[in-house]
């Protein structure tokens, strides 16, 4: 049994280890180890295409994770106190948003937004006072909006689980002691769900940062880091991709472990 | 403001998001699937079933998906179950959490990079080179259904382990002791006690993996090399290369419909099996 488990862990981690090992390859061939060096990290970090893609990915991940945490928390808290059809509709929407394949979300967002923009742009142009009206197009906005759809649903699920495990008597006591609803939220609910919100933020960030398939459809002329890596792999395997891959994995690992610790600490305190 | 009014205000941004980014786009896909292709790509409004009639043109993609998704799910299950069992029943409680986290963490890291790793391992200079060295030459692994299955099992293993683990972990260990006290050999305890009681976790794991696999694009794109492709690859081709939005929408709508039907049928089946088991245990 234990030997089997060791094999499965090797199966899970050897591929990651190989990527990391070959990223330190001194040679130019991706699959032949010729001494160790950090030159590919230097090359990757001084490649303007990589840095542009990284910047896009970081901005999109950060903004969408903020939107997801704020709106997701608001919705989760509100859903606690709501019964009836509105709640049923929201439960259904959250379920659909999480369950539907990412590729379908990507396609739907692409043709939905392009159709919408085709209607909006002439309208805006006709109303705009000058000759250079703003033009809606796919890019940062559509990336952030599409990622937020999925991650917001994720945040709602995480925070509702946390709220469900919370003692209701605490908020009741708070309002019996004449705290305003906002006061109760700030001083009782928020401190209790804060670890879950932070964990939700980190998971959202990681999801957005790593997402390829949705971004592939909705990125427009922008390039995120996964899109860059995918098109590089298509052109051939290079040690530079190994270096980028190792850095991406390292960033996700740090964020994930932080998220896990937050969720765990939050649980043990109540 | 009343409590209800306040809740509605709090729900407004999420509601608007769902409406604009989920309900409207999915409706557009459905509408487009009844339309026609424009001369320069894109979409021309119409009401026709032509796109659906044309579905057999992408039959191979549907066939591959409908074969490899269940087979991949099964492969992930076969690898995951013993590990979940080990973690829940046999592992030292001190290490349990850490070991579980080590299984889950890869799932949240980039599937792109993790699948890419297998291009390395299964490619010409990886395992085939090793086999060649010990005398087994001419083995080709990459760009075959096998390499796609390896990628699937590898990528979705964590998602399969987790629900089975949760289920086995909650299982009352005294049942296992009772079974062996009553003289059942370990394999019988496993077959008659552990396995039936862990079926809900198995069902959840299979469902999650199967759903994600139905929409898979990356693993076949990287490890199937254009020879083994899924519906997801057909969709990328239709929307981003040939820009045939009407037909693409019909393919996407069909994919979602197949998913809904199989998932509903599967859940019914599981529920019926579950109900039967309860009947038995009542006697």
What's the domain count of chain B? Answer: 1
Using CB atoms, which residue from A22, A77, A249 is nearest to B110? A249
Q: Determine, yes or no, domain membership for B10.
A: no
Residues of chain B in contact with residue A253, where contact means CB-CB under 8 angstroms, are 105, 109
- Which pTM was predicted? 0.88
Residues 151-210 on B with a CB inside 8 Å of A are 154, 157-158
Q: How confident is the model at residue A4 (pLDDT cuts 50, 70, 90)?
A: very high
In angstroms, the CA A137 to CA A115 distance is 11
- Residues B9-18 have a mean pLDDT of 94
Question: Under a CB-based contact definition with an 8 Å cutoff, are residues A108 and A145 in contact?
Answer: no
Question: pLDDT higher for A8 or A176?
Answer: A8
pLDDT at B283: 33
Selecting from B25, B86, B113 the residue whose C-beta is nearest the C-beta of A249 gives B113
pLDDT of residue B275: 63
| Centroid of chain to Cα A90 | 21
Within a domain: B174:
yes
Q: What is the pLDDT of residues B118-172, one digit of tens each?
A: 988 898 777 888 888 887 777 788 889 999 999 999 999 999 999 999 889 888 8
CB-based contact A1 B82, cutoff 8 Å: yes
Residue A256 · residue A206 · CB < 8 Å: yes
Average pLDDT over every residue of B2-8: 84
pLDDT band at B280 (very low <50, low <70, confident <90, very high): very low
For chain A, list the domains and their CATH numbers.
52-269 (1.10.3720.10)
Shortest CA gap B36–chain A (Å): 14
Strands B43-44 and B36-37 turn out to be: antiparallel
Whether residue B139 is contained in a domain is answered as yes
Q: Which residue has the higher pLDDT, A32 or B211?
A: B211
Residue A56 has pLDDT above 70, yes or no: yes
B117/A230 CB distance under 8 A:
no
CATH of the domain at B161: 1.10.3720.10
How many contacts does A have with B, using Cβ atoms within 8 A? 230
Tell me whether residues A252 and B109 touch, CB distance under 8 A: yes
Query: Chain A window 15-44: which residues touch B at a Cβ cutoff of 8 Å?
Result: 15-16, 18-19, 22, 30-32
What ipTM was estimated for this complex?
A: 0.88
Domain range for B243: 33-282
What are the structure tokens assigned to A184, written together?
């109760």
**B12 occurs within a structural domain:** no
CB contact under 8 A, B116 and A233: yes
The residues, ordered by sequence, that sit 6+ positions from A153 with a Cβ below 8 Å of its Cβ are A72, A93, A94, A97, A98
Tokens of A13: 């981690």
């Amino acid at each position: 049994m234990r030997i089997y488990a060791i094999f499965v862990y090797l199966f899970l981690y050897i591929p990651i280890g190989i990527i990391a090992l070959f990223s330190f390859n001194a040679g130019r061939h991706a699959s032949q180890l010729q001494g160790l060096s950090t030159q590919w990290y230097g090359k990757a970090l001084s490649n303007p295409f990589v840095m542009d893609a990284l910047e896009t990915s970081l901005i999109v991940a950060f903004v969408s994770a903020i939107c997801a945490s704020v709106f997701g928390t608001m919705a989760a808290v509100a859903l606690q106190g709501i019964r009836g059809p509105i709640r049923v509709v929201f439960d259904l929407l959250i379920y659909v948003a999480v369950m539907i394949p990412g590729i379908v979300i990507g396609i739907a967002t692409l043709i939905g937004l392009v159709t919408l923009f085709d209607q909006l742009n002439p309208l805006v142009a006709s109303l705009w006072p000058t000759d250079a009206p703003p033009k809606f197009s796919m890019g940062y906005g559509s990336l952030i909006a599409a990622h937020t759809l999925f991650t917001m649903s994720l945040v709602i699920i995480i925070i509702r689980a946390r709220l469900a495990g919370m003692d209701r008597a605490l908020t009741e006591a708070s309002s019996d002691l004449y705290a305003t609803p906002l006061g109760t939220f700030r001083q009782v609910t928020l401190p209790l769900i804060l670890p879950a919100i932070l964990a939700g933020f980190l998971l959202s960030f990681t999801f957005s940062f790593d997402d390829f398939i949705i971004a592939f459809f909705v990125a427009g002329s922008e390039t995120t880091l996964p899109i860059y890596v995918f098109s590089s792999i298509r052109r051939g395997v290079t040690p530079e991709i190994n270096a980028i891959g190792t850095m991406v994995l390292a960033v996700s690992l740090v964020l994930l472990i932080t998220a896990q610790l937050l969720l765990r600490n939050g649980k043990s305190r109540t | 403001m009343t409590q209800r009014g306040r809740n509605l205000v709090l729900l407004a941004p999420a509601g608007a998001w769902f409406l604009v980014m989920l309900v409207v786009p999915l409706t557009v896909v459905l509408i487009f699937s009844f339309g026609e292709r424009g001369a320069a790509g894109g979409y021309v409004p119409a009401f026709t079933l032509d796109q659906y009639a044309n579905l057999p043109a992408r039959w191979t993609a549907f066939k591959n998906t409908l074969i490899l998704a269940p087979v991949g799910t099964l492969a992930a299950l076969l690898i995951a179950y013993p590990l979940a069992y080990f973690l829940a029943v046999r592992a030292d409680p001190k290490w349990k959490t850490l070991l579980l986290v080590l299984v889950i963490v890869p799932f949240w890291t980039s599937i792109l990079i993790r699948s890419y790793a297998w291009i390395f391992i299964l490619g010409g200079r990886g395992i085939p080179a090793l086999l060649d060295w010990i005398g087994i030459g001419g083995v080709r692994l990459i760009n075959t259904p096998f390499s796609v299955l390896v990628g699937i099992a590898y990528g979705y293993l964590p998602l399969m382990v987790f629900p089975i683990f949760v289920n086995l972990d909650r299982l009352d260990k005294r049942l296992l002791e009772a079974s062996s006290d009553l003289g059942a050999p370990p394999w019988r305890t496993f077959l008659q006690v552990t396995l039936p009681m862990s079926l809900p976790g198995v069902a959840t794991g299979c469902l999650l993996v199967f759903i994600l696999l139905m929409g898979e694009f990356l693993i076949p794109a990287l490890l199937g090399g254009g020879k083994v492709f899924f519906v997801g690859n057909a969709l990328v081709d239709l929307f981003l290369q040939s820009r045939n939005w009407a037909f693409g929408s019909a393919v996407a709508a069909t994919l979602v419909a197949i998913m809904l039907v199989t998932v509903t049928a599967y859940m019914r089946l599981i529920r019926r099996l579950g109900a039967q088991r309860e009947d038995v245990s009542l006697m």
